Structure 1
Amino acid sequence: MKLVRYGDPGREKPGCLDKAGCLRDLSHLISDIAGDALSPAKLAELSKLETESLPLVENQPRLGPCVHQVGKFLCIGLNYEDHAKETGVENPSEPVVFLKATSAITGPYDPIVIPHGSTHTDWEVELGVVIGKRAKHVPLGKAGDYIAGYCVINDVSERHFQKHNTSQWAKGKSCDTFGPIGPWLVTSDEIADPQQLSLWLEVDGKRYQDGHTSKMIFDVKHLVSYLSRFFTLYPGDIISTGTPAGVGYAQKPEAIYLKPGQTVRLGITGLGEQKHKTTAEDILPR
């Protein structure tokens, strides 16, 4: 099932796509794509719906982030061998974990705002994993049972903010609009193997990233199990599983970074596409 959230920012309603790709309303059945709505029992109940009988949503409203009330936005660095290689580092011996502020979350077609003073805003297409039930000390063989579904993520990053005079990545990863998710949350029953998905990203029509999730150093189940050793994962928590080669700062002969007025498109097999315009930050006081 492809679950969506639609409407103006902060006023999104839950919905889904029917077999023809039309948007249908779910607000009479669940309050949002969040919390208990992501549980295995509730998703199984929703999967039995005749989606064509649900209220049709017309006029192509904005799609918001496909998950609401995200508690933790967990990210994995250097999780593709080709990306580690292009950055000049060895493959990590265990997952590189950092947190992205949930205030960075935005919709799949919303603008990416280049922060004031930014000179190194970069792109990273990633597979997102959404947790569906409380997870703590999860055995590797059971990790899949805790996954509600998958989505496209652009782990937008400001490399100077991320790396200059610091070993902490959060401030370079957490600027407003640096966490587009969606367009859909595709439930795990529709993805036979999350390690068999192609992912790509283009800027102004030029393809820079063209990867495959089979090339992850630590696969999805390993990450869920590993992270649950250190802290409890809750429904709606997101794991952004790393990016393949082709990021802007690794381009040759010199790095390429995003500027206002560009178009960024990215997608993953079966999970849909995102499309963003880049804009300059308005720094008027609010």
Structure 2
Amino acid sequence: MKRGRVSVHGTIFDATEKDGMIQLHDGRLRQEEEVVWLPPVVPETVFALGLNYADHAKELSFQTPTQPLIFLKGRNTFIGHRACTVRPSDVTYMHYECELAVVLGRSGKHIKKEEAYDYVRGYTIANDYAFRDYLENYYRPNFRVKNRDGATPIGPWMVDKEAIQDPMNLELRTYVNGELKQVGSTKDMIFSIPELIEYLSSFMTLHENDVILTGTPKGSVDTKVGDEVVTEIEGIGRLMNTIITEA
């Protein structure tokens, strides 16, 4: 099942997909453009991966990491489907990052990778924009790169894990103004979803609605004001976002 959160005339509704339309939890149906999309979950702790695809690491002329390169993101970064993201006026390079987002469904610590999927609730799409001008070190992205307000569209839907046969074999695609710019597959992750859950839970407790952004493959290019960016993951959906000016 596909689950989401939307706002209609200022009221927030849980929603599901029905015959290509949005069904509010009170049973009413709405078209996609008739609602304001919100992140499909209210995230707790958000973990993001750097250089988790070998081709992306090579693209940036870095060796592949030997352990997960993880940083944290604030809730302020997340916006919904069809929303707008500001390109700061002083930025010369702002690129998208199509990422599979893993939503946890229950708490746990010292989780073995063989049991990791038991702790997963579902999956969604994230577009975790990066502002390279602010990057101090590719191995330790600073806060201005990854914690800007509204710079991480997520959604539209969270898909229940039972609906995804193999999350480690999904195609990722990104389009800019309708032109295909990025193609990759989750099978090329350096650290798999079970490995990431085992690693994180080895030193801290994971909780329901924690989110893991699993990294992006190669193919990120600079985006400009006015660009419409669509990030797409097989079996999960298409997430649309528009870049606007600060003014």
Measured against the shorter chain, the TM-score band is over 0.9
Residue 204 of structure 2: aligned partner:
231
Is the contact made by 1:76 and 1:242 (CA closer than 8 Å) also made in structure 2?
yes
Runs of 4+ in 1 over 6 A off after TM superposition: none
Secondary structure of the equivalent of 2:197? helix
The answer to which of 159-168 and 178-187 deviates more is 159-168
Secondary structure of the equivalent of 2:23? strand
- Once the two structures are superposed, residues 98-150 of structure 1 have per-residue CA deviations (whole angstroms, 9 ceiling, x without a partner) of 11221000002101111242222111000000010002110111100000000
- AA matched with 2:29: V
Deviation at 1:164, TM superposition (A): 7.2
Distance change >3 Å, CA 57–CA 232, structure 1 → 2: same
TM-score after normalising by structure 1: 0.81
- AA matched with 1:57: L
Distance change >3 Å, CA 88–CA 134, structure 1 → 2: same
Q: Which of these two proteins has the greater Rg computed from alpha carbons?
A: 1
Aligned partner (choices 97, 105, 110) of residue 70 of structure 2 = 97
Residue 262 of structure 1: aligned partner:
227
Is the contact made by 2:50 and 2:139 (CA closer than 8 Å) also made in structure 1?
no
Deviation at 1:218, TM superposition (A): 0.7
Is the contact made by 1:115 and 1:175 (CA closer than 8 Å) also made in structure 2?
no
Q: 1 or 2 for the larger relative contact order (CA 8 Å, sep ≥6)?
A: 2
Higher strand share: 2
Q: Is 2:154 the counterpart of 1:181? A: yes
Residue 80 of structure 1: aligned partner:
53
- Once the two structures are superposed, residues 43-79 of structure 1 have per-residue CA deviations (whole angstroms, 9 ceiling, x without a partner) of xxxxxxxxxxxx12235312211112x1111101111
- AA matched with 1:225: E
Is the contact made by 1:22 and 1:56 (CA closer than 8 Å) also made in structure 2?
no
Residue 22 of structure 2: aligned partner:
23
Secondary structure of the equivalent of 1:223? helix
Residue 280 of structure 1: aligned partner:
245
How many aligned residue pairs are there?
Answer: 245
Residue 177 of structure 2: aligned partner:
204
Aligned partner (choices 192, 201, 219) of residue 246 of structure 1 = 219
Is the contact made by 1:130 and 1:239 (CA closer than 8 Å) also made in structure 2?
yes
- 1:244, 1:165 → 2: CA distance? 15
Secondary structure of the equivalent of 1:181? strand
Is the contact made by 2:153 and 2:241 (CA closer than 8 Å) also made in structure 1?
no
Aligned partner (choices 67, 73, 85) of residue 41 of structure 2 = 67
Deviation at 1:214, TM superposition (A): 0.6
Deviation at 1:204, TM superposition (A): 2.0
Residue 117 of structure 1: aligned partner:
90
- 1:86, 1:163 → 2: CA distance? 18
CA RMSD, aligned part only? 1.9
- Once the two structures are superposed, residues 245-282 of structure 1 have per-residue CA deviations (whole angstroms, 9 ceiling, x without a partner) of 0112xxxxxxxx22211111110001110111110114
Residue 41 of structure 1: aligned partner:
none
Unaligned segments of structure 2, at least 5 residues: none
- AA matched with 1:172: V
- AA matched with 2:202: R
- Once the two structures are superposed, residues 167-216 of structure 1 have per-residue CA deviations (whole angstroms, 9 ceiling, x without a partner) of 54322111111111101000100011101100011212222210011111
Secondary structure of the equivalent of 2:114? helix
- 1:84, 1:166 → 2: CA distance? 11
Secondary structure of the equivalent of 1:163? coil
Deviation at 1:14, TM superposition (A): 0.7
Distance change >3 Å, CA 245–CA 9, structure 1 → 2: farther
Distance change >3 Å, CA 225–CA 178, structure 1 → 2: same
Is the contact made by 2:68 and 2:196 (CA closer than 8 Å) also made in structure 1?
yes
Residue 124 of structure 2: aligned partner:
151
Distance change >3 Å, CA 95–CA 143, structure 1 → 2: same
- 2:138, 2:242 → 1: CA distance? 30
